[in-house]
Amino acid sequence: MNNLNSGDYVRQTKGSPQWGLSTHFFAYQPLDGQALTNIRAAGFGVIELWGMRPHFNCHDRAAVENLKQKAGELGLDISSVHAPFYTNIEELMKRNMLSLADPDTTRRSVAVAQVEDILWAAEALGARFLVLHPGTPGEDENRIGYLAQSLDELLPKARKHNLRLALENLDPPYTTDRLLELVKNYDPEWVGICLDVGHANLVGDPEETVLSVAERLFSIHLSDNDGVQDEHKCPPLGNIDWKNVLTTLGKAGFRWPYMLELRGLPELKLENIFMNMAKIYNTEEDPPSK
């Protein structure tokens, strides 16, 4: 997968990855043109769209078209979309989340339908990957079989929209080793792993995890934490050894955007995020002119 022609999504500068930002940074507010402008001005040329309400409504076709137009004007690529795993903020706050591994057929059908609904928008926006939460952390490990049923239903529809499915590692039972066992049953061109480095840090060694998933690695999420809580901090504000992680990603042949998925905090400035990552990687890239 990493050897495919990646077009505009990969910066060809030697030794320099293309830093991307998930719009999760603005998750609790509707995504608008000003947010995209600020992301681009900070130095980012690629984003992952956080596909959940109120941030993004895939049923609003006019809004999707406006988003596509604005991103195009800014030269901002939408390389991936994070599929919904909650219906709205109120349900999220009550911890009522959707699970593709739900053993209840009715509830699992709702989760699958939420993913199906966003497929057309992801394709329209030019995304290549659809990131999926496989379930909810803490669920019974026997639910993996129900997740496979959801994938069997979703994959043919995703292929029609030219979207590859990337399963994101979470806390047990959805760790990378379990997800790898599952994705090996599917075409490596269409089903792979989204490695969340912050999540990996909560259960093991991120560098070893990179190497273990390299052959099926479609996308990555970068954020930092203390190894105990999933804090989604900006690197290097946690305990992850980012020099080694980024070096390992390069050695593993990863050539897709290095996507930061951070919690938006008032004191965290977009331009500082870009400069932090460039400094960690020993690059000297300047943000594009405004």
H or E element, residue 130 = strand 129-132
What integer pLDDT is reported at residue 21 of this predicted model?
97
pLDDT above 70 coverage of the chain, percent: 92
Do the beta carbons of residue 165 and residue 116 sit within 8 Å?
A: no
> Which has the closest alpha carbon to 158: 248, 214, 218?
218
Contact between 79 and 20 (Cβ < 8 Å): yes
Per-position DSSP letters for 147-194, written without gaps between them: HHHHHHHHHHHHHHTT-EEEEEP-STTS-HHHHHHHHTTS-TTTEEEE
Predicted TM-score of the model (pTM):
0.91
8-17, 45-54, 225-234, range with the lowest pLDDT:
8-17
Reported as a pLDDT band with limits 50, 70 and 90, residue 187 is very high
How does residue 15 score in pLDDT terms, banded at 50, 70 and 90? low
Average pLDDT over residues 235-259: 94
Judged against a pLDDT cut of 70, whether residue 185 lies above it is answered with: yes
Say if residue 47's pLDDT is above 80.
yes
Mean pLDDT over the full length of the chain? 91
pLDDT at 284: 41
How far is it, in rounded angstroms, from Cα 144 to Cα 65?
A: 36
Task: Render pLDDT for 61-105 as a digit per residue (tens, 0 to 9).
Answer: 999 999 999 999 999 999 999 999 998 888 888 888 999 999 999
Domains of the chain: 7-280 (3.20.20.150)
Q: Which residues pair with 220 in a beta bridge?
A: 195, 258
* Residue 114 Cα to chain centre, angstroms: 17
Task: Verify cis geometry, omega within 30 degrees of 0, for the bond prior to 173.
Answer: yes
Say whether pLDDT at 245 is over 90: yes
Residue 135 tokens, joined? 């379930």
Give the mean model confidence (pLDDT) for residues 197-204.
97
Residue 2 has pLDDT above 60, yes or no: no
Residue-wise pLDDT tens digits, 158-174: 999 999 999 999 999 99
